[in-house]
Amino acid sequence: MSVGFRAVQWNRDKLVYDGILVAAVALYIAGFGVVAWRIEPPKNMPEAIDLWIRATGTCAFLMLTVILWIGPLARLSPRFRPLLYNRRHFGVLTFIVAVAHFGFLLSWYIAQHNLPNLGAELTKWEDCGKFIGFPFKTLGIGALLILFLMAATSHDFWLAFLTPRIWKSLHMALYVAYALVVMHVALGIMQSEGTMLIPLMLVGGAGSVAALHIIAGWRERTGDRGNALNADGWIAVGPPYAIPDKCARIVAAPGGERIAVFRDGTQIGALTNLCAHQNGPVGEGRIIDGCVTCPWHGYQYRLRDGCAPPPFTEKLATYRVRINRGLLEVDPRPLPPGTPAGIDIPREAISEILMPKTAM
Amino acid sequence: MTRRHRFIHRVLWPILALVVATGFVLALWLRPPPEPGQVRAAPMERPA
């Protein structure tokens, strides 16, 4: 992939995903407004604006919570992977809703000809030393700035320019943004409202995010332990036929980096488990149209050499594989990306390897 | 995710979770009790 700018490549899946997202957000905000208006009609303009501050604020919090659910859910079950496909657009829409929240806040001050008070509130340094009474809007603004940074760098141009490694690290700031939002609510509205609804919303949101991460992390921990090496430093993968056709078995090199060993009929190849696009788990994908296909966004690579088919130019690191006494083995030392390393299972071993039961 | 990302991820979010959980519990513990007969508090974004 070149680092030149390329407009968003729309397809039907992205349009459907975004359509559902926008509809859900519009429904939530409109529903919140209608219900709140009926329960307690605003008496003046500031009260009406306050209602929309709450609608957009709770919407942004819920959206952030759902975004943070998607990662661990996709690790726990492939059924949730479609949510991951266009998560960046989800993030950009969350930023837009958060900007609307901030915009309504400004309108609230402007409606009362009170805008300078906001500046005074944000720069009241003596309040910064307090816990209750801390200028909580600064926390919200901090979260908004992080969301801006992430939305601004969400395009594939930045992904390629910064490299997936740096881009991923940068986008982990979402956790910091979420923490700031939780404390923005806890030190803000939760202090002025006596209701238990807000604490419950925070506990439910942040608690579910933490629980999902713990469960997914617990299940992943075995994958981080490097597989045992044999005498000459190779990793035993097992009998080749134990790998389902057009799928992979993932093994871990001694440092914990993962290797995806694929079988496509009688062809075997090992690639790094990191997709060149967003470091997605290539080994959890399948071979489609003769190419290893990443389950996250469908980036494809040839099994034999880890190169994307023309006109694409991405390359994955490959690993040497061999059949040793009927067992498939992989050398955990990576080869330069694009190095041919796939093998064909020897003809004389095929019947034994592919059809062990009939052969016996 | 690279091994390094998994490591950062697993270090970063538990620390944040702990800080946020502590902050939240303190904020809940220290919040003023609701005024008697209060139906709805003042607007969310109240100027100082």
Residue A265: CATH number of its domain: 2.102.10.10
Q: Do residues A187 and A243 share a domain?
A: no
Contacts of B33 in chain A (CB under 8 A): 194
Residue A182, domain extent = 12-223
ipTM, interface predicted TM-score of the complex: 0.72
CA-to-CA distance for A314 and A2, rounded, in angstroms?
9
- Give pLDDT tens digits for A193-234: 888 999 999 999 999 999 999 998 888 777 677 777 888 899
Q: Do residues A275 and A208 share a domain?
A: no
To which residue do tokens 């871990």 refer?
A: A252
Q: Phi/psi at A279 (nearest 5 deg)?
A: 60, 30
Q: Do residues A65 and A96 share a domain?
A: yes
CB contact under 8 A, A121 and B47: yes
Q: Are A96 and A69 in contact (CB under 8 A)?
A: no
Our count of domains for chain A comes to 2
Give the percent of chain A with pLDDT over 90.
Answer: 60
Beta-bridged to residue A235, according to DSSP, are A229, A330
Residue A262 inside a domain? The answer is yes
Contacts of B4 in chain A (CB under 8 A): 165
Which residue of A191, A215, A221, A284 is the best one to mutate when testing the B interface, meaning the one whose CB has the most B CBs within 10 A?
A191
CB contact under 8 A, A131 and B8: no
How many Å lie between the alpha carbon of A219 and the closest alpha carbon of chain B?
Answer: 13
CA-to-CA distance for A117 and A283, rounded, in angstroms?
55
Q: Do residues A198 and A251 share a domain?
A: no
- Could you tell me which residues come within 8 angstroms of residue B25 by beta carbon, excluding any fewer than 6 positions away? none
CA-to-CA distance for A121 and A251, rounded, in angstroms?
55
Beta-bridged to residue A322, according to DSSP, are A329
Domain boundary among A201, A223, A245: A223
pTM: 0.80
Residue A5 inside a domain? The answer is no
- Give pLDDT tens digits for A22-51: 999 999 999 999 999 999 999 999 999 999
Numbered residues of chain B with Cβ closer than 8 Å to any chain A Cβ:
1-6, 8-10, 12-13, 16-17, 19-21, 23-24, 26-28, 30-35, 38-48
Q: Do residues A207 and A276 share a domain?
A: no
The answer to whether residue A190 scores a pLDDT higher than 60 is: yes
- Could you tell me which residues come within 8 angstroms of residue A90 by beta carbon, excluding any fewer than 6 positions away? A21, A63, A66, A67, A70
Average pLDDT of span A3-16 = 70
Domain boundary among A223, A248, A272: A223
CA-to-CA distance for A106 and A35, rounded, in angstroms?
23
How many Å lie between the alpha carbon of B37 and the closest alpha carbon of chain A?
Answer: 11
Residue A6 inside a domain? The answer is no
Domain boundary among A175, A191, A223: A223
Give the percent of chain A with pLDDT over 70.
Answer: 92
To which residue do tokens 């005498």 refer?
A: A231
Strand order in the sheet with A321-324: A235-238, A327-330, A321-324
CA-to-CA distance for A92 and A228, rounded, in angstroms?
43
Residue A121 inside a domain? The answer is yes
Contacts of B8 in chain A (CB under 8 A): 169, 172
CB contact under 8 A, B27 and A120: no
Q: How confident is the model at residue A359 (pLDDT cuts 50, 70, 90)?
A: very low
How many Å lie between the alpha carbon of A326 and the closest alpha carbon of chain B?
Answer: 31
Residue A3 inside a domain? The answer is no
